[in-house]
Amino acid sequence: MLSAASWRHAVHFSTLSPLPAHGGFNFYIGNNPQAKGIFMSPPGVSRSPGTQIKDSIRLASRQSGRDLTPYEASRYWLAQGVDYLTGQPLDAAALWMKKTALFFRKEEISANIDYAQSKQLVPLFDIPFFGFGLIAPLCLSGILLPLGTASDHPRGYSADPSEGGSGHPGREKGTAGHALLLFYFAAGTASIVLFFISDRYRLPMVPIAIIFAARAAVDLVRAARSRNVKKFTALFLPAALLFLLVNYNFDGLAAKRSPAIHYNHLANTFIQQNKKDIALEHLKQAVAIDPGAVAAFGNLGRLQVEMGDLEAGEGSLRKALAIDPLFAVAHLNLGIALEKRGDMEAAVRHYRTAIDISPSLVEARVKLARRLLAAGDLEAARAQYQAALAEDPDFEPAYEGFGELLAKSGDL
């Protein structure tokens, strides 16, 4: 697999590397002055997964003063992240401590799905499975347990056959096995903390966490059955303290997602199903829950414009831009609203702003090209259509508009 990836990168990017071309950018997401330990979109980079990497390359090129290849852009972002770590070591250390704590938090930290809210739609999520809020404290307890303290361990932990062992040096084998699992778990955890915390990145470590958790649980049960109060207390108190630390909602640490994000994503699903009235209600609920939900305000504004409520749509989009002036899609949609209201000059201004922020936003280029074509500026319109098609050769509106331009200029 690595050789195939290396060959692909050599063909497309002239770089023989098995690593993805956006590794440096992912490193920067988790290591910058605005980082919070989880996924984020740096200023000037789209929130859309489809254009985010392209935007990161363009932004790196702009800040470097020259066009960069994907791997050069990745190295640029890696250097920016390293500069933050070395330039602000105390802040960086606090951030890494926070990321380590987030790794062991009870929440499933997702980039786009709120599993707690999804219980309303997926009854399967209501099944009382053991969550990470129970696994994590038991895992940490299992890691901290000294191997030699429990004489009633099962076969393989004792070399004495009278204690249920096999007569072989099982304790040494147990110590080696414990160390190997601990090394694997620590290395995997560090590789995640190095970037940012996400549920799907943590998932490969969960089976190992369960092994350590099972060991702690077995020791607790055995201590209880043997009525060894001293041993049970020594095992239970640390586990209980860790349980509180993992599950308590500390200010600034609990990674609970705003329900507004859930309603925003749910609205997007209903929009795809052409159930706009239902989507509208979910978006209104999202912005009512969280007045800072910039993506929900942006989607609400666009939907209101599509449904003909231009005044409300413009208001929602301006609220989105008040929260985030670099929200390129909101500039695009505000331009559409203004164009429908007949304010062509203001519409063109917002189209240009959207392109300046996110040059890969082909819809903004096509909208701008249409206005330029209507104003008679054929060369400027041609440049925008060509840029749109270079960015996305499959974007049909760009072909339609370019065809109109060719017909108008007599180049057919």
Burial of residue 17 (CB within 10 Å: 0-12, 13-18, 19+) is middle
- Under a CB-based contact definition with an 8 Å cutoff, are residues 383 and 398 in contact? no
Task: For the chain, list residues with pLDDT below 70.
Answer: 1-19, 47-50, 112-118, 120, 146-174, 254-257, 411-412
State the Cα–Cα distance between residues 335 and 342, nearest whole angstrom. Answer: 10
State the Cα–Cα distance between residues 243 and 138, nearest whole angstrom. Answer: 8
- Under a CB-based contact definition with an 8 Å cutoff, are residues 13 and 70 in contact? yes
State the pLDDT at residue 391.
Answer: 87
Q: Residue 292: helix, strand or coil by DSSP?
A: coil
State the Cα–Cα distance between residues 254 and 369, nearest whole angstrom. Answer: 46
State the pLDDT at residue 14.
Answer: 58
- Under a CB-based contact definition with an 8 Å cutoff, are residues 103 and 192 in contact? yes
State the DSSP code for 342: T
Q: Residue 168: helix, strand or coil by DSSP?
A: coil
Give the residue among 351, 346, 276, 347 at the shortest CA–CA distance from 309. 276
Which residue type occupies 322? A
State the pLDDT at residue 335.
Answer: 97
Q: CA 370 from chain center: how many Å?
A: 35
- Under a CB-based contact definition with an 8 Å cutoff, are residues 31 and 85 in contact? yes
Give the list of residues 6+ apart from residue 400 with CB closer than 8 angstroms, or none: none
Using alpha carbons only, what angle is made at residue 356 by residues 352 and 359, rounded to the nearest 5 degrees? Answer: 105
State the pLDDT at residue 409.
Answer: 81
State the Cα–Cα distance between residues 195 and 70, nearest whole angstrom. Answer: 19
Give the residue among 274, 339, 332 at the shortest CA–CA distance from 307. 274
State the Cα–Cα distance between residues 223 and 384, nearest whole angstrom. Answer: 73
pLDDT digits (tens, 9 = 90+) for 127-150: 777 889 999 999 999 998 765 444
Radius of gyration, CA atoms only, the chain:
28
End-to-end CA distance of the chain: 47
State the pLDDT at residue 54.
Answer: 82
- Under a CB-based contact definition with an 8 Å cutoff, are residues 324 and 334 in contact? no
Give the tokens for residue 153.
């361990």
Output 299-302 pairs: Cβ under 8 A, ≥24 positions apart: 299/264, 299/267, 299/268, 299/271, 301/330, 301/333, 301/334, 301/337, 302/329, 302/333, 302/336
What domains can be seen in the chain, in order of their start residue? 2-87 (no CATH), 128-247 (no CATH), 259-409 (1.25.40.10)
State the pLDDT at residue 122.
Answer: 73
State the Cα–Cα distance between residues 99 and 111, nearest whole angstrom. Answer: 15
State the pLDDT at residue 18.
Answer: 56
State the pLDDT at residue 16.
Answer: 56
DSSP string, 293-331: -HHHHHHHHHHHHHTT-HHHHHHHHHHHHHH-TT-HHHH
pLDDT digits (tens, 9 = 90+) for 171-223: 555 677 788 899 999 999 999 999 999 999 999 999 999 999 999 999 999 99
State the Cα–Cα distance between residues 394 and 386, nearest whole angstrom. Answer: 12
Give the residue among 140, 24, 37 at the shortest CA–CA distance from 94. 37
State the Cα–Cα distance between residues 260 and 133, nearest whole angstrom. Answer: 23
